Structure 1
Amino acid sequence: MQTVIETKSLCKTYGRQKAVDHVELHVPQGSVYGFIGPNGAGKSTTMKMLLGLIHPTEGQVFLLGQEMTERNRLALLRQTGSLIETPSGYLHLTGQENLQVVADLKGVPRRDIARVLEIVDLTADRNRKVGQYSLGMKQRLGIAMALLGSPKLLILDEPTNGLDPAGIQEMRDLIANMPAATGATVLISSHLLGEMEQMVGFVGILHQGQLLFEGSLRELQRHSRGSFSLRVLQPQKAAPVLKGRGIAPRLEKGALTLPPLRDEELAGLVRAVAESGAGVVGLTAHSKSLEEIFLSLTQTQEVK
């Protein structure tokens, strides 16, 4: 699989603190890649190194199949759009006027503005002053600025930060459809795993500057699978079924607690409980928190 971003032993040290510690990313072409970790994990530092905004202490960055150097940095960045931290914009100018400023700075024809406004659903608000925009609209305008010139790569740092639920949903839909709508590969960071699960296909988990996991979302979901709560009308009839499958029946808040199970095992167990006459009312899945996944991944590494 061809990669659009690749890093080799990427490090950034500030004094004695290693903010990024030998990170090796592999972002597949045409994907939405979720870069996940708690605040302070090193996500923004890594993204700034990818964009040449800060220099690595050690290691290499490859963008679009080429190692980034001082000689080719600007040429590579012309094919890259980014939104790092707070979106910038002139509040006294309209969305259209802000995009005209950015298009002129990038050397992009102004006719491209209509295309990016359509992608981020701001066409109807193009002539409103940005000072009147909601935070979600400002974020989408920032993405429109990044999309000017049809970049092959889009790097977004926590674009859902501070948004209300409606704004988060709009951003999820926008980003999930970005490769199909624009042809761009997307690298997006967040400290919220739940947000990422609804828009990405690949994931990298960063913790204390180290990459603990990289792979498909499906692979990660194996790590995040938690317990299940099975509500039944007659727990006493379900108990023998659970015992017969090596599961100790445990009743909590009116529901039987089941351990993490594969889909096939879970389906078979629920069917057997239903056939016992226990009266299945509902099943609830409990995913592990990001912190629990970190602990699980760390323990796995230690065992290896």
Structure 2
Amino acid sequence: MISVIETHDLCKSYNGRIVVEHLNLSVPQGCVYGFLGPNGAGKSTSMKILLGLVHPTSGSVKLLGQTMNEENRIALLRKTGSLIESPSGYLHLTARENLKIIADLKDIDHKDIDRVLEIVHLTADANRKVGQYSLGMKQRLGIAMALLGNPRLLILDEPTNGLDPAGIQEMRGLIASMPESTGATVLISSHLLGEMEQMVTQLGILDHGKMIFEGSLQELRKHSRGGIQIRVLDVKKGIDILNRQGILTQPMTHHLDILQLPSISDEKLAELVRTLSENNVGVVGLTSETKSLEEIFLSLTQNGREVA
């Protein structure tokens, strides 16, 4: 699989404080990649390094198959669009006038302006002054600026920040369609997993500058199992047997015949059920709780542990 972004042991520190630590990021071509982490995890710094706005302390960056250096940085960034933090623009000018300024700076034909306005659904408002725009419209204008020149890669830093629910929903649909509608691979950062799962196909989770998970949305869901509830006919004997197996358990408060078990693998669960049956403890019910994606995210970031 071709990667449009690859970092190798990327590190950044300020005055001895580590912000990004040995980051190995791989973004496949043609996907929407969610770069997740709590506030202060190092996401924005990492994205600024990718764009050459911040120099890493050590490590390397490859964009579009080429190692970034001072000689090719400008050429690579011409193939990359970005929206970092709040979109900038001249409020007293129209959206079209703002886009013309950006097009001139990038040496891009003005004919491309109509294309990007249509993609972000601003054609009807192109001649309105940006000062009259809602925050959501300004964010869409920022993405239109990033799309000028038909870049192969888009880097978007928390583009849904501050939007109302309708604006967030609109932005989700816009970003999710980018690979198909523009051909661009998208790297998008956020600290809200529930919001990202409706846009992305691949994920990387950063915490305290370290990558603690990277993979598909489906792979992340493998970590969604929570506790297990098992209903038995002989509670006292069941507790004794499970304790001997190293599983601490206790009856649920309002259902004394149901034992609450921690999260365990399918193999371990099958072994425990078999052991209970062999010792004449009837198992008459089994329920596995499922964590939400937000709970998985919190579990990973709070524990600070890596997962496969």
The percentage of counterpart residues that share the same residue type is 64
Q: C-alpha distance in 2, partners of 1:226/1:164?
A: 32
Once the two structures are TM-superposed, the CA of residue 222 in structure 1 deviates from its matched residue by 1.6
Once the two structures are TM-superposed, the CA of residue 16 in structure 1 deviates from its matched residue by 1.1
Q: C-alpha distance in 1, partners of 2:227/2:171?
A: 30
> Deviation per CA, 1:208-250, whole angstroms, max 9, x where unpaired?
0111111111111122444599xxxxxxxx9459x89x99774
The answer on whether the counterparts of 2:3 and 2:29 sit within 8 Å (CA) in structure 1 is yes
**In the alignment, what sits opposite 1:125?**
125
Residues 170 and 17 (structure 1 numbering): CA distance in 2 closer, same or farther, change over 3 Å? same
The answer on whether the counterparts of 1:213 and 1:297 sit within 8 Å (CA) in structure 2 is no
**In the alignment, what sits opposite 2:169?**
169
Superposed counterparts of 1:187-226, under 5 Å: 187-226=187-226
Once the two structures are TM-superposed, the CA of residue 252 in structure 1 deviates from its matched residue by 6.9
Which amino acid is the alignment partner of residue 8 of structure 1? Answer: H
Which amino acid is the alignment partner of residue 298 of structure 1? Answer: R
**In the alignment, what sits opposite 1:233?**
none
Once the two structures are TM-superposed, the CA of residue 251 in structure 1 deviates from its matched residue by 6.4
Once the two structures are TM-superposed, the CA of residue 155 in structure 1 deviates from its matched residue by 0.1
Q: C-alpha distance in 2, partners of 1:286/1:204?
A: 19
Superposed counterparts of 1:1-304, under 5 Å: 1-226=1-226, 239=231, 250=252, 285-287=290-292, 288-295=295-302, 298=305
Once the two structures are TM-superposed, the CA of residue 293 in structure 1 deviates from its matched residue by 2.4
Once the two structures are TM-superposed, the CA of residue 134 in structure 1 deviates from its matched residue by 0.8
Q: Which runs of 5+ in 2 are unaligned?
A: 243-248, 270-283
**In the alignment, what sits opposite 2:279?**
none
Residues 193 and 53 (structure 1 numbering): CA distance in 2 closer, same or farther, change over 3 Å? same
Q: C-alpha distance in 2, partners of 1:250/1:46?
A: 45
Q: C-alpha distance in 1, partners of 2:184/2:90?
A: 26
Once the two structures are TM-superposed, the CA of residue 63 in structure 1 deviates from its matched residue by 0.3
Q: C-alpha distance in 2, partners of 1:20/1:286?
A: 29
Residues 300 and 157 (structure 1 numbering): CA distance in 2 closer, same or farther, change over 3 Å? closer
Structure 2 length as normaliser, TM-score?
0.80
Residues 134 and 6 (structure 1 numbering): CA distance in 2 closer, same or farther, change over 3 Å? same
Q: C-alpha distance in 1, partners of 2:82/2:265?
A: 39
> Deviation per CA, 1:95-114, whole angstroms, max 9, x where unpaired?
11111111111111111111
Which amino acid is the alignment partner of residue 27 of structure 1? Answer: V
Q: C-alpha distance in 2, partners of 1:284/1:137?
A: 41
Q: C-alpha distance in 1, partners of 2:118/2:27?
A: 27
Q: C-alpha distance in 2, partners of 1:252/1:111?
A: 68
Which amino acid is the alignment partner of residue 22 of structure 2? Answer: H
Other structure's SS at 2:200 match? coil
Q: C-alpha distance in 2, partners of 1:224/1:204?
A: 16
Which amino acid is the alignment partner of residue 148 of structure 1? Answer: L
> Deviation per CA, 1:243-295, whole angstroms, max 9, x where unpaired?
89x99774679xx98976999x9xxxxxxxxxx9x9xxxx9954115221224
Once the two structures are TM-superposed, the CA of residue 125 in structure 1 deviates from its matched residue by 1.0
Q: Which runs of 5+ in 1 are unaligned?
A: 230-237, 266-275
Q: C-alpha distance in 1, partners of 2:201/2:165?
A: 22
Which amino acid is the alignment partner of residue 291 of structure 1? Answer: L
Once the two structures are TM-superposed, the CA of residue 196 in structure 1 deviates from its matched residue by 1.1
Other structure's SS at 1:223 match? coil
The answer on whether the counterparts of 2:226 and 2:289 sit within 8 Å (CA) in structure 1 is no
Q: C-alpha distance in 1, partners of 2:180/2:137?
A: 21
Once the two structures are TM-superposed, the CA of residue 297 in structure 1 deviates from its matched residue by 5.8
The answer on whether the counterparts of 2:152 and 2:185 sit within 8 Å (CA) in structure 1 is yes
Q: C-alpha distance in 1, partners of 2:228/2:152?
A: 42
**In the alignment, what sits opposite 1:232?**
none
* Equivalenced residues, count: 274
Structure 1 length as normaliser, TM-score?
0.81
